[in-house]
Amino acid sequence: MFRSFIALVIGLLLVSAESCWSVEDPVRDAAHDECLYFGALEAAPNPDKAIAACGEYLARENLDDAQRSYAYNARANAYKEKKDYARALIDYDKAIIYRLKWGRNAPHVNEKDEHGILAILIGARSETFFYARDFDDAIKDDTTLIEKYGDTREGEAAYFHRAVDYFMKKDYARALADLAVDLKAHPDHGASYAVRGDCYAALGDYERAIADFSEAIRLTSGRRPNDFNKRGIAFFKKGLYQQAIDDFRAALALSPDNEQIKANLKAAETALAQK
């Protein structure tokens, strides 16, 4: 939906890997490189190759905990790309477990780096829970990020992500509370205004919904068709059919093949003609 951690995860892990492997290390071979490279799905979207390479790599007995964590994370990314969320979650669990073991047992560990990497892994697992529509577990991971990793990028974003989880559970009061925190810290976050508009619309407060969708449109320079579509729906609910028509047309200009927006436009035009 909007929660993408993959590139950052792989970037950090590849940098950290340099302290664990030397060029001569026999464990760092083609299977290792393909596992991590093709697990960086935004760089090379070949999840099947990543899964095969990571499976071969993980079958070895001479891997340390950090190496296993890297590989499980890469394979989890690949499973997530294939929408096999059950297997992705199993591998994210293992990536986190092995990373924690590495942090406890390895000599000369950089605690700040470990803290950041764990936050990324937990954030990726939370995202996967969300995609799997397991909002309760996504909320648990987001709460962990807020309480234990608030100084990281993932911790700062967790209020927004948890708000979306609460919205999906129709717990609008908690969603609004988290969005208030997020918007205080990030007042230019257009997506937060859009989600808050969703909350207000679900509660029947169309005036506030329209105001927030308008702010989302302003902050994103009108690039997102769904913001226009949702504001159009709010106008429609208030009986403001011409404003609704204008918004649905703006949404269609950005997404001309969207059948739902076409249907919304037709309904608004019909309602205006009958007024």
Domains of the chain, by residue range, sit at 1-181, 188-275
Domains 1-181 and 188-275 are alike in CATH topology: yes
Q: Residues 188-275: name the CATH superfamily.
A: Tetratricopeptide repeat domain (1.25.40.10)
Who contacts 146 (Cβ-Cβ below 8 Å, separation ≥6)? Answer: 155, 158, 159, 162
Which residues are CB-contacts of 11 (< 8 A; sequence separation ≥ 6)? 40
The rounded distance, in Å, linking the Cα atoms of 146 and 161 is 11
Q: What class is the 1-181 domain?
A: mainly alpha
Residues 6 or more apart whose CB falls under 8 angstroms from that of 164 comprise 1, 130, 175, 195
Q: How far apart are CA 107 and CA 20, in angstroms?
A: 11
* Residues 193 and 168 sit within 8 Å (Cβ to Cβ): no
pLDDT in tens, the chain (275 residues): 444 433 333 333 333 333 333 333 445 566 777 777 766 654 446 889 889 989 998 998 888 998 899 899 999 999 998 999 999 999 999 999 999 998 888 777 678 888 999 999 999 999 999 999 999 999 999 999 999 999 898 999 999 999 999 999 999 999 999 999 999 999 999 999 999 999 999 999 999 999 999 999 999 999 999 999 999 999 999 999 999 999 999 999 999 999 999 999 999 999 999 98
Q: Whole-prediction pTM value?
A: 0.84
